[in-house]
Structure 1
Amino acid sequence: MKDVVLKVDHVGMQFNLSAEKVDDLKEFIIKKLKRQITYKEFWALKDVSFELKKGERLGILGFNGAGKSTLLKVIAGVLKATEGSVTTKGKVVPLLELGAGFDKQYTGKENIFLYGAMLGYTKEFITRKYEEILEFSELGDFINVPVKNYSSGMKARLGFSIATIVEPEILILDEVLSVGDAKFRKKSEKRIKDMFDKGVTVLFVSHSLEQVKRLCDRAIILEHGHIIANGTVEEVSAIYEEKLNK
C-alpha cells in the first residue's frame, strides 16, 4: 500500500470581515480606536478532510469563492487553519502566485537567488542550477534587467522556472499552467508531467476542466468551503459538468 503523504483533517479557515463599509484608512483607525468596528465571521473552509497517497494527483474544482486557493495556502503553510490539521511528509513546493516574492528593483538574476532562498534553496544549489533556470525561462538578456520592467508573463515564467528546478514530494499548483504564451504553457505542462512520472504527489487548481481531466487521477469539488464530491477524476468531472450546465 502506498504511503499517505498528505492528510487534511477536519480543516476550517475563518476570516473576520468588517460588517460595515469604511471609506479610508483614517476613518478605519478612528472607528477602531473608538471600538466602533464590528466584524462578522466568514468560514472560507469548513470541515475539509481528505488524504493523498504518494503519486496521486488531485484536481480541486469549484466556482470562484469556493475556497480552492485558501485550501492550497493552508496546505502550503501560508495560512494557519483556524481548526483541524494538515500533515505532510516530505518537501512541499507551492506554485501559487508566481513571482509574488520578487523585488521589483532587482534584476531577474538577483531575484533568482532571492526567490530561491524564499523557497528554501541554498545559494550553492541555485548557483549550480542557474543556467538551467535561465534557459527554461527563455528570458535571455532580460535576466539582467530590473523585474519592474517585466511583463506579468515574464515574471510568471521566471517564477515557474525557479520553483520547478527541484523535485518535491508534494507539488501545489494554482492556475500556474495558464502562464505565458502557448509555447511556454506546453513546455511548462511537459515539465510538470515529467514530475508526475517520477511519482510526485500533486494538488492542482485550474478553471480548465479539460486540463484537470488530462493531468489528474482524483478530484474534489469545493462549494462554499465544503467538499461536496470526492472520487475519481471521471466521476467528479461528470458532477462538475452538470453543475456548469445548470
Structure 2
Amino acid sequence: MAVKAGYRLGETFRLHQKRRFAQSECSALRCASGCGQGSSVAPPADRSTTSFAAVLRIIRARSGPSSTAPQASPAGKKQRGRGQLLDHRAAWYEAVGTQPDEAATIQLVSYLQVKALRDRIMADMINPAEDEGTYRAVFMGQHPERPDWSRVDACEVLLVQLLAYTPAADRAPLFSALGWLAWYKGKGSLAAAYLAKALESEPGYRLAELLDEMLRTGLLAKTATNASTAYKRGNHS
C-alpha cells in the first residue's frame, strides 16, 4: 500500500482537530511535567497495560530473525522489507484523525519501537517525501518548506492518545516524537520536557539524547526561523 501523497485535510476535519488538539495538548503538558496522579494521559482502569506490554513483547519477538523461517534471497528480503515499511507508514498516516481501537493501538506503538521505522514515521509527520535527501533534511529540521501544521497538530493528538495506553517502559519513542514536533514548532521548553520524560522512561534512549543535545546547542528547525513557515497555533491556512 503506497503512502498517500500530500497532507491537505478537509475543513470539517480541521475544525474537529482544533478542538481535540486543545484538549490533548493540555493532557500532554501535564504528562510532560510529571505524568503523575490525576493526569488524563494515565492508562484508564479498563485497559490492561500488563497485557498490552505482553503483546508488544510478542510483536518484537516476531519481528526478529527466525531460524525456522524459509530464507528469502537478498533481493526478496529487500522488496518485502520495503513493502512492509510502506504498509506501516500508511497505517500511521490513516490513523491520524481517528481514535484507534486496542489492536490498532498496539500495532502503531510497536512500529515506533523499531528505529528505522520510527524515524521514517516521524519524518512523515512533517513531510512524506520519498527521496532520501529530503527525508534526512526533514528529520534534522533543515527542510525549509512549510509543513501542514494542522496535520502536525493531529499527529500530536494521536501520539498523546497512544501514550495513554502505553506502558511506562515503552513510552520513550512517543515522548521523543512529541519533543521533536515541539522543537519543530519552536517550543523549546516543551520539547525539553518531553525529552526528559523519554529519558526517564528509558535512560540512555539514544534518540532522546541526540535531540536533547541538539536542543542544548540552540539549533532551531528552519521552519521556525521564517515567519511564513513557522507554527502559529489556530492559524494553519
TM over 0.5: no
Q: Which has the higher helix share?
A: 2
Question: Whose Rg is larger?
Answer: 1
Shorter chain as denominator, the TM-score bin is under 0.3
TM-score norm. by structure 2 comes to 0.26
TM-score norm. by structure 1 comes to 0.25
Q: Which has the higher strand share?
A: 1
